[in-house]
Amino acid sequence: MRIIFRRGLTITAALFLLGFHVSLAAQATGNIAGIVTDDSGAVLPGVTIEVTNTNTGQTRGAVTRADGYFSLPLLQPGVYQIKGTLSGFKTFVREGVTVTVESTARVDMQLPVGGLQESITVQADAPLVETSNATLGIVVDEKKVVELPLNGRNFTQLGTLLPGVVAPPAALGGASGEATPGGFGATTSGFSVNGMRNQSNNFLLDGASNNDTFNTGFVLRPPPDAIQEFKILTHSYTAEYGRSAGSVVNVVSKGGTNQLHGAVWEFNRDDSLQARNYFVPSTQPKPKLKQNQFGFSLGGPVMRNRLFGFGYYEGFRNTSGVTQNFIVLTDAQRTGAFGATVIRDPLTGLPFPNNQIPADRIDPAALKMLLLIPAPNLAAFPSNYSATGTYEFDRDNLDFKVNYNPGTRGSIFARYSISPSDIFDPPSLGDAGGDALAGGQPGRAPGRIQSTAVGAT
């Protein structure tokens, strides 16, 4: 029994590790690589390379190979200092090396002959060219995410700034277009990339899947204040990607640093500041609109240079009037009189005389159902009824992320996100039901999304 138990435990652990490895196939990290030479251009093996994250103090090290090449993979996106040292040569220091998600920063060094106490410092202000692969894409950094205008604070609208990315009709809307707690929803299913369908995109959050498999699009939508950067890959993906032929959108959420940082926000839209909907009849009141997006974020050190935390909360409250026009039976049609419209007897196939359904041929149950359907309130044709209602959408986003740097060999992060929501889409015919006025499912639809990600680099 003990042997069987141990064997089962071993198999379970192996399966867990295998699954863990597969889940981390797509990383939300970047790399630094380069070649070290001397003054004459000859390669230098054995050079000690050390990179330091200027925000968290995390250090990683490597040694150049016989061909002078070094590579430091799986680095958290951020700004780094890189230093190269070798006995008999001056120390090389490059400041401000920016590492972005799914890219390799190329840093080649040239070490002149001299003492280790002598150093050459280079400021890497200009972006370094990506030469490690042929993947086409662009990184949208924190500054652009926060400062560029967004409808509903939907960061994916920035994707349309890329060549080959087009938003289809009604896509990338604000909150009113969302049928799911975080995604684009049934009527706002994303953007098209290089002519592919808008369902052909793969959304990742910190390297983990963030796909809405029902409506397409993404599930969790971090606020701009909680996004460090995101990258949209549009062509020639590397081996770790699959699933979608359109694009890969990899979002890196913020983490804590050695400096305490945070933000507080409130965005409001109100009907008192909005124009009246042109299609709402003048006899009806102005549709209601009360929308608020509010929240805060906070991050900082728990243990300096070792343990960091970052979290945010965002609340969303939307109450908006919606209007749709429909066709309902007129008062005459409710008595069986259809005028010029030909009505045939289902038993004989012949038209009823004068297109009048006899009273004894109208089902009493149908007459009772007609009492629930409102009468026409418009003189227009063909739509003679204007339905108005109040659409409600409440959502809360809560997220907490922990980063731990145990030493120079790597780092660990864990993130937990939860997003409960409640949507009410009013039925077009009131108590009689009918289609939803806002295009979703009629009635109330509560929901809750949870996501957990764990990674090691």
| Residue ranges of domains in the chain, CATH in brackets | 27-123 (2.60.40.10), 136-325+388-456 (2.170.130.10)
Three-state DSSP at 256 gives: coil
The better pLDDT of the pair 432, 108 is held by: 108
Token pair, residue 42, equals 């000859």
Tokens 């002078």 correspond to 68
pLDDT for res 121: 75
pLDDT tens sequence across 29-38: 899 999 999 9
Q: How far is CA 290 from the centre of its chain?
A: 24
The alpha carbon torsion through 437, 440, 442, 447 (nearest 10 deg) reads: -140
Most confident of 117-131, 149-163, 178-192: 149-163
Considering only CA atoms, which of 417, 408, 191, 413 is closest in space to residue 313? 417
The backbone region for 195, taken as left when phi is positive above 0, alpha when psi lies in -120 to 50, beta otherwise, is: left
**pLDDT surpassing 80 at residue 239:** no
Give me the DSSP letters along 90-157.
Answer: PEEEEEEEEE-TT-EEE--EEE-BS-TT-EEEEE--SPPP--S---EEEEEEHHHHHHS--GGG-GGG
Q: How many CB atoms lie within 10 A of CB 6?
A: 10
The rounded distance, in Å, linking the Cα atoms of 292 and 270 is 9
pLDDT tens sequence across 276-322: 877 777 777 788 889 999 999 999 999 999 999 999 999 999 999 88
Strand partners, 15: none
pLDDT for res 255: 92
Residue 456 confidence class, pLDDT cut points 50, 70, 90: confident
Sheet holding 443-456, edge to edge: 261-270, 289-303, 307-326, 385-407, 410-425, 443-456
Radius of gyration of the CA atoms of the chain, in A: 30
16-to-11, 32, 68 alpha-carbon distances in Å:
9, 30, 38
Average pLDDT, the chain: 83
Mean pLDDT of 259-276: 90
The answer to whether 205 touches 419, Cβ cutoff 8 Å, is no
Residue 430 confidence class, pLDDT cut points 50, 70, 90: confident
pTM over 0.85: no
Token pair, residue 74, equals 């799986």
Element (H, E) at 370: helix 364-370
The better pLDDT of the pair 128, 371 is held by: 371
**pLDDT surpassing 90 at residue 171:** no
328-to-64, 142, 148, 354, 425 alpha-carbon distances in Å:
79, 52, 46, 21, 20
Residue 156 confidence class, pLDDT cut points 50, 70, 90: confident
pLDDT for res 160: 84
pLDDT for res 109: 92
pLDDT tens sequence across 78-122: 999 999 999 999 999 999 999 988 888 999 999 998 876 777 777
Residue 125 confidence class, pLDDT cut points 50, 70, 90: low
Residue 169 confidence class, pLDDT cut points 50, 70, 90: low
Burial class (CB in 10 A: 0-12, 13-18, 19+), 96: middle
Mean pLDDT of 168-175: 51
pLDDT tens sequence across 13-30: 443 344 443 344 467 889
The answer to whether 300 touches 263, Cβ cutoff 8 Å, is no
Q: How far is CA 246 from the centre of its chain?
A: 16
pLDDT for res 127: 54
pLDDT for res 2: 39
pLDDT for res 33: 94
- Write down the number of H helices and E strands in the chain: 4, 22
The rounded distance, in Å, linking the Cα atoms of 425 and 444 is 6
